[in-house]
Amino acid sequence: MFQLSAEQYDTLYATKDYVREAHLLRERLSRLDPSLHTVLDVACGTGAHDEHLCRFYEVDGLDLNPAFLEAARRRNASGRYHVGDMRDFRLDRLYDVALCLFSSIGYARTRVELVRTLTCLREHLTSRGVVVIEPWLTPEVWEAPSVRWDQGGRDGGDSIVRMAHSSLREEGTDRVSVMEFHYLVGSRKGVEYSRETHEMGLYSKRRMESALIEAGFTDVHHEADGLTGRGLYVGRVGRTNS
Protein backbone atom coordinates (compact mmCIF):
# COMPACT_ATOMS: atom_id res chain seq x y z
CA MET A 1 0.00 0.00 0.00
CA PHE A 2 1.17 3.55 -0.69
CA GLN A 3 2.50 5.25 2.46
CA LEU A 4 2.17 8.60 0.66
CA SER A 5 -0.78 10.69 1.80
CA ALA A 6 -3.66 11.22 -0.65
CA GLU A 7 -2.40 14.78 -1.25
CA GLN A 8 1.13 13.52 -1.96
CA TYR A 9 -0.22 10.83 -4.33
CA ASP A 10 -2.13 13.52 -6.24
CA THR A 11 0.97 15.71 -6.31
CA LEU A 12 3.04 12.85 -7.76
CA TYR A 13 0.51 12.35 -10.57
CA ALA A 14 -0.49 16.01 -11.00
CA THR A 15 0.23 15.95 -14.72
CA LYS A 16 -1.59 12.67 -15.45
CA ASP A 17 -4.48 13.49 -17.76
CA TYR A 18 -7.41 11.89 -15.93
CA VAL A 19 -9.96 13.96 -17.90
CA ARG A 20 -8.74 12.61 -21.22
CA GLU A 21 -8.61 9.05 -19.87
CA ALA A 22 -12.17 9.31 -18.56
CA HIS A 23 -13.34 10.50 -21.98
CA LEU A 24 -11.53 7.68 -23.75
CA LEU A 25 -13.13 5.20 -21.38
CA ARG A 26 -16.56 6.64 -21.94
CA GLU A 27 -16.06 6.48 -25.70
CA ARG A 28 -15.10 2.79 -25.54
CA LEU A 29 -17.87 1.86 -23.13
CA SER A 30 -20.58 3.57 -25.15
CA ARG A 31 -19.33 1.83 -28.29
CA LEU A 32 -19.69 -1.51 -26.49
CA ASP A 33 -23.12 -0.74 -25.03
CA PRO A 34 -24.56 2.79 -24.70
CA SER A 35 -26.90 1.65 -21.91
CA LEU A 36 -24.10 0.83 -19.43
CA HIS A 37 -24.76 3.01 -16.41
CA THR A 38 -23.25 1.80 -13.13
CA VAL A 39 -19.49 1.57 -12.56
CA LEU A 40 -17.32 0.04 -9.83
CA ASP A 41 -13.80 1.46 -9.87
CA VAL A 42 -11.63 -1.17 -8.17
CA ALA A 43 -8.35 0.11 -6.65
CA CYS A 44 -9.79 3.56 -7.34
CA GLY A 45 -7.11 5.40 -5.35
CA THR A 46 -8.04 9.04 -4.74
CA GLY A 47 -10.91 8.86 -7.25
CA ALA A 48 -9.28 10.98 -9.94
CA HIS A 49 -10.99 9.07 -12.79
CA ASP A 50 -14.28 8.96 -10.87
CA GLU A 51 -14.40 12.75 -10.58
CA HIS A 52 -14.94 12.88 -14.36
CA LEU A 53 -16.70 9.56 -14.95
CA CYS A 54 -19.42 10.50 -12.46
CA ARG A 55 -20.71 13.09 -14.93
CA PHE A 56 -21.84 10.19 -17.14
CA TYR A 57 -22.17 7.18 -14.83
CA GLU A 58 -23.13 6.25 -11.30
CA VAL A 59 -19.68 5.46 -9.89
CA ASP A 60 -18.70 3.62 -6.68
CA GLY A 61 -15.20 2.58 -5.71
CA LEU A 62 -13.07 0.20 -3.65
CA ASP A 63 -9.51 0.51 -2.41
CA LEU A 64 -7.28 -0.82 0.37
CA ASN A 65 -6.30 2.67 1.46
CA PRO A 66 -8.89 4.49 3.65
CA ALA A 67 -7.09 7.86 3.30
CA PHE A 68 -7.27 7.64 -0.50
CA LEU A 69 -10.98 6.84 -0.26
CA GLU A 70 -11.58 10.02 1.77
CA ALA A 71 -10.20 11.98 -1.20
CA ALA A 72 -12.34 9.93 -3.61
CA ARG A 73 -15.48 10.74 -1.59
CA ARG A 74 -14.68 14.44 -1.88
CA ARG A 75 -14.31 14.10 -5.65
CA ASN A 76 -17.47 12.09 -6.18
CA ALA A 77 -19.82 12.90 -3.33
CA SER A 78 -22.62 10.64 -4.58
CA GLY A 79 -20.34 7.58 -4.88
CA ARG A 80 -20.18 4.82 -2.27
CA TYR A 81 -16.56 4.06 -1.40
CA HIS A 82 -15.54 0.84 0.30
CA VAL A 83 -12.34 -0.13 2.05
CA GLY A 84 -11.52 -3.58 0.72
CA ASP A 85 -9.01 -5.90 -0.87
CA MET A 86 -9.71 -6.44 -4.56
CA ARG A 87 -8.50 -10.05 -4.20
CA ASP A 88 -11.37 -10.89 -1.89
CA PHE A 89 -14.33 -8.55 -1.44
CA ARG A 90 -18.10 -8.74 -1.39
CA LEU A 91 -20.39 -5.75 -1.92
CA ASP A 92 -24.18 -5.82 -1.85
CA ARG A 93 -24.56 -4.47 -5.37
CA LEU A 94 -23.93 -5.48 -9.01
CA TYR A 95 -22.53 -3.08 -11.62
CA ASP A 96 -22.57 -2.76 -15.40
CA VAL A 97 -18.84 -1.99 -15.51
CA ALA A 98 -15.87 -2.97 -13.33
CA LEU A 99 -12.72 -0.92 -13.87
CA CYS A 100 -9.21 -1.60 -12.61
CA LEU A 101 -7.00 1.18 -13.96
CA PHE A 102 -3.47 2.56 -13.88
CA SER A 103 -1.88 -0.88 -13.51
CA SER A 104 -3.49 -1.54 -10.12
CA ILE A 105 -4.16 -5.13 -11.23
CA GLY A 106 -0.43 -5.76 -10.72
CA TYR A 107 -1.09 -5.72 -6.95
CA ALA A 108 -2.54 -9.16 -7.57
CA ARG A 109 1.03 -10.43 -7.31
CA THR A 110 0.64 -14.02 -8.50
CA ARG A 111 -1.55 -15.74 -11.07
CA VAL A 112 -3.61 -17.32 -8.31
CA GLU A 113 -4.29 -13.85 -6.86
CA LEU A 114 -4.98 -12.51 -10.36
CA VAL A 115 -7.68 -15.11 -11.09
CA ARG A 116 -9.16 -14.56 -7.63
CA THR A 117 -9.30 -10.77 -8.24
CA LEU A 118 -10.84 -11.12 -11.70
CA THR A 119 -13.38 -13.61 -10.35
CA CYS A 120 -14.37 -11.11 -7.63
CA LEU A 121 -14.80 -8.45 -10.31
CA ARG A 122 -16.95 -10.78 -12.43
CA GLU A 123 -19.11 -11.67 -9.45
CA HIS A 124 -19.94 -7.95 -9.04
CA LEU A 125 -21.15 -7.52 -12.62
CA THR A 126 -24.65 -7.68 -14.07
CA SER A 127 -25.39 -10.19 -16.84
CA ARG A 128 -24.44 -7.61 -19.51
CA GLY A 129 -21.40 -6.47 -17.51
CA VAL A 130 -18.05 -5.34 -18.87
CA VAL A 131 -14.62 -5.49 -17.23
CA VAL A 132 -11.88 -3.04 -18.23
CA ILE A 133 -8.33 -3.65 -17.00
CA GLU A 134 -5.43 -1.32 -17.62
CA PRO A 135 -2.49 -3.67 -17.02
CA TRP A 136 0.91 -3.36 -15.43
CA LEU A 137 3.96 -4.15 -17.55
CA THR A 138 4.67 -7.54 -19.13
CA PRO A 139 7.73 -9.65 -18.18
CA GLU A 140 9.10 -9.06 -21.71
CA VAL A 141 9.53 -5.31 -21.19
CA TRP A 142 10.45 -5.33 -17.48
CA GLU A 143 14.02 -4.04 -17.15
CA ALA A 144 15.74 -5.16 -13.96
CA PRO A 145 17.87 -4.44 -12.16
CA SER A 146 17.47 -0.79 -13.06
CA VAL A 147 17.15 2.68 -11.55
CA ARG A 148 14.72 5.32 -12.79
CA TRP A 149 13.36 8.55 -11.45
CA ASP A 150 10.32 10.68 -12.04
CA GLN A 151 8.72 13.71 -10.47
CA GLY A 152 5.40 15.40 -9.95
CA GLY A 153 4.03 18.69 -8.74
CA ARG A 154 2.32 21.91 -9.60
CA ASP A 155 3.93 25.30 -10.17
CA GLY A 156 4.28 27.07 -6.84
CA GLY A 157 2.92 24.05 -4.90
CA ASP A 158 4.37 20.93 -3.29
CA SER A 159 6.58 18.69 -5.40
CA ILE A 160 7.86 15.12 -5.25
CA VAL A 161 10.89 13.43 -6.73
CA ARG A 162 10.81 9.63 -6.77
CA MET A 163 13.69 7.31 -7.47
CA ALA A 164 12.92 3.64 -8.03
CA HIS A 165 15.30 0.74 -7.80
CA SER A 166 13.66 -2.14 -9.65
CA SER A 167 14.35 -5.84 -9.50
CA LEU A 168 12.72 -9.11 -10.47
CA ARG A 169 11.74 -12.06 -8.28
CA GLU A 170 10.69 -15.38 -9.72
CA GLU A 171 8.27 -17.46 -7.67
CA GLY A 172 7.65 -20.72 -9.57
CA THR A 173 5.94 -19.63 -12.80
CA ASP A 174 5.16 -16.15 -11.41
CA ARG A 175 7.31 -13.13 -12.19
CA VAL A 176 7.13 -10.38 -9.58
CA SER A 177 8.46 -6.87 -10.12
CA VAL A 178 9.89 -5.34 -6.95
CA MET A 179 10.27 -1.56 -6.75
CA GLU A 180 11.98 0.18 -3.90
CA PHE A 181 10.75 3.77 -4.07
CA HIS A 182 12.68 6.63 -2.47
CA TYR A 183 10.74 9.89 -2.19
CA LEU A 184 11.80 13.47 -1.59
CA VAL A 185 8.66 15.45 -0.78
CA GLY A 186 9.13 19.20 -0.91
CA SER A 187 6.70 21.69 0.61
CA ARG A 188 6.85 25.07 2.36
CA LYS A 189 7.71 23.16 5.55
CA GLY A 190 10.90 21.74 3.99
CA VAL A 191 11.96 18.48 2.32
CA GLU A 192 11.03 15.09 3.76
CA TYR A 193 12.50 11.72 2.79
CA SER A 194 10.55 8.47 2.83
CA ARG A 195 10.75 5.05 1.20
CA GLU A 196 8.49 2.12 0.48
CA THR A 197 8.58 -1.15 -1.46
CA HIS A 198 5.93 -2.23 -3.95
CA GLU A 199 5.60 -5.71 -5.44
CA MET A 200 3.55 -6.22 -8.57
CA GLY A 201 2.90 -9.27 -10.74
CA LEU A 202 4.15 -9.16 -14.33
CA TYR A 203 1.75 -10.88 -16.75
CA SER A 204 2.23 -11.59 -20.42
CA LYS A 205 -0.71 -10.89 -22.72
CA ARG A 206 -1.37 -14.64 -22.98
CA ARG A 207 -1.32 -15.07 -19.21
CA MET A 208 -3.66 -12.12 -18.63
CA GLU A 209 -6.12 -13.30 -21.29
CA SER A 210 -6.15 -16.85 -19.94
CA ALA A 211 -6.75 -15.52 -16.40
CA LEU A 212 -9.70 -13.44 -17.64
CA ILE A 213 -11.20 -16.49 -19.35
CA GLU A 214 -10.57 -18.69 -16.28
CA ALA A 215 -12.37 -16.06 -14.18
CA GLY A 216 -15.42 -16.49 -16.41
CA PHE A 217 -15.13 -13.60 -18.87
CA THR A 218 -15.95 -13.98 -22.56
CA ASP A 219 -15.28 -11.82 -25.64
CA VAL A 220 -11.89 -11.07 -24.08
CA HIS A 221 -9.81 -8.72 -26.17
CA HIS A 222 -6.73 -6.55 -25.84
CA GLU A 223 -6.18 -3.05 -27.23
CA ALA A 224 -2.49 -2.26 -27.65
CA ASP A 225 -2.65 1.48 -26.91
CA GLY A 226 -5.43 1.72 -24.36
CA LEU A 227 -5.65 4.93 -22.34
CA THR A 228 -1.97 5.66 -21.70
CA GLY A 229 0.03 3.30 -23.92
CA ARG A 230 -0.03 0.43 -21.41
CA GLY A 231 -2.83 -1.38 -23.27
CA LEU A 232 -6.30 -2.31 -22.12
CA TYR A 233 -8.10 -5.63 -21.63
CA VAL A 234 -11.84 -5.76 -22.08
CA GLY A 235 -14.03 -8.75 -21.24
CA ARG A 236 -17.74 -9.41 -20.97
CA VAL A 237 -20.09 -11.47 -18.89
CA GLY A 238 -22.53 -13.88 -20.45
CA ARG A 239 -21.47 -13.82 -24.07
CA THR A 240 -19.42 -16.18 -26.17
CA ASN A 241 -15.85 -15.68 -27.34
CA SER A 242 -15.82 -14.94 -31.07
120 near ligand SAM (CB under 6 A) = no
Q: Which stretch binds ligand SAM (CB under 6 A): 45-53, 137-145, 162-170, 215-223?
A: 45-53
Considering only 25, 44, 133, 220, the residue that binds ligand SAM (CB under 6 A) is 44
Residue 2 — φ and ψ, nearest 5°? -65, 130
Query: Whole-angstrom Cα distance, residue 213 to residue 217?
Result: 5
Residues forming a β-bridge with 229: none
Shortest reach from residue 76's CB to ligand SAM, in Å: 13
Strand bridging mode 125-133 / 95-100 = parallel
Shortest reach from residue 99's CB to ligand SAM, in Å: 8
219 near ligand SAM (CB under 6 A) = no
Which parts of 33-84 fold into alpha helices (H)?
A: 50-53, 66-75
Residue 65 — φ and ψ, nearest 5°? -100, 105
Spell out, one character per residue from 75 to 104, where the chain touches ligand SAM: x when CB under 6 A holds, - when not.
Answer: ----------xxx-------------xxxx
Query: Cβ closer to ligand SAM: 81 or 107?
Result: 107
Residues forming a β-bridge with 236: 130, 218
Q: Is there a contact between 232 and 223 (Cβ–Cβ < 8 Å)?
A: yes
Shortest reach from residue 49's CB to ligand SAM, in Å: 6
* Chain residues in the site for ligand SAM (CB under 6 A): 1-2, 43-45, 48-49, 63-65, 68, 85-87, 101-104, 107
